[in-house]
Chain A
Amino acid sequence: EAGVAQSPRYKIIEKRQSVAFWCNPISGHATLYWYQQILGQGPKLLIQFQNNGVVDDSQLPKDRFSAERLKGVDSTLKIQPAKLEDSAVYLCASSLDRLGQPQHFGDGTRLSIL
């Protein structure tokens, strides 16, 4: 079974620039999550999709972050404009459904803001 695919693995941009991350979940997984993980902390949920609908985006800074999951499969997360405090690893995860199923993580995208 192929795992969760993410790209790019690394990204370096200057503050106020924009950046986008891509995620392809495990085939058949209805639920997709985007997390932000700052060094030394646990993953923080940014947004959760069930198929192509948003279940929870309460911690997504909507003035600069946006995410979509067209056709209920792939997803993109965008930051525009980036701030220094956005430097983190962005993790995508998927699960069979949202009812307490374990999540499987991709390798993440390490974002550095200069």
Chain B
Amino acid sequence: QKEVEQNSGPLSVPEGAIASLNCTYSDRVSQSFFWYRQYSGKSPELIMSIYSNGDKEDGRFTAQLNKASQYVSLLIRDSQPSDSATYLCAVNKGDKIIFGKGTRLHILP
């Protein structure tokens, strides 16, 4: 099992709909979870961090963490064309941060 797994996509979502991005991780003792957005040709940009089970909301973004299932997700409400990007899930393993390969999201106008 890969340490951090994401579906590479592309995930196509109509404008205005909810985009749901998923990530699973292998280390049961991981405590820190991050979602980064990366536009083509740009560097990753932190959009959400979550440390406790449950939901964390920030504007149109909601991160959901389920440590028992080793699963973290990102929901984007009211998707906009500007949300089209690659979304990277990152999880700590001890003192290291391990990145997934990312999910390409395409918002259809």
B15-58 CB mask vs A (1 if < 8 Å, else 0) is 00000000000000001101000000011111001010000000
Do most interface residues of chain A lie in helix, strand or loop, or is the interface mixed? loop
Which range contains the number of B residues in contact with the other chain?
20 to 34
Q: Is B88 a contact of A43 with CB atoms below 8 Å?
A: yes
Q: Is B95 a contact of A42 with CB atoms below 8 Å?
A: no
Contacts of B4 in A (CB 8 A): 42
Given known contacts A42-B99, A45-B97, A56-B95, A102 and B43 CB-to-CB distance under 8 angstroms: no
Q: Is B96 a contact of A48 with CB atoms below 8 Å?
A: yes
* Docked pose: A93 CA to B102 CA in angstroms: 18
Contacts of B77 in A (CB 8 A): none
Q: Is B88 a contact of A104 with CB atoms below 8 Å?
A: no
Given known contacts A42-B102, A100-B32, A55 and B95 CB-to-CB distance under 8 angstroms: yes
A3-35 CB mask vs B (1 if < 8 Å, else 0) is 000000000000000000000000000000101
Among A33, A55, A89, A105, chain B packs the most CB atoms within 10 A around the CB of A105
Q: Does B70 contact A (CB under 8 A)?
A: no
In the complex, which residues 96-114 of chain A have their Cβ closer than 8 Å to any Cβ of chain B?
98-108
Question: B92 to nearest A CB, angstroms?
Answer: 5
Contacts of B98 in A (CB 8 A): 45
Q: Does A67 contact B (CB under 8 A)?
A: no
Q: Is A43 a contact of B44 with CB atoms below 8 Å?
A: yes
* Docked pose: A107 CA to B32 CA in angstroms: 24
Question: A107 to nearest B CB, angstroms?
Answer: 5
6 extra interchain contacts, Cβ-Cβ under 8 A, other than A56-B95, A100-B51, A105-B45?
A: A42-B4, A42-B100, A48-B95, A99-B95, A100-B31, A100-B97
Enumerate 9 A-B pairs (CB-CB under 8 Å) in ascending A order: A33-B97, A41-B101, A41-B102, A99-B95, A102-B46, A103-B97, A106-B43, A107-B42, A108-B43
- The 10 tightest CB contacts between A and B, nearest first, are A100-B32, A42-B99, A105-B43, A98-B95, A42-B101, A100-B92, A102-B46, A108-B43, A43-B99, A102-B49
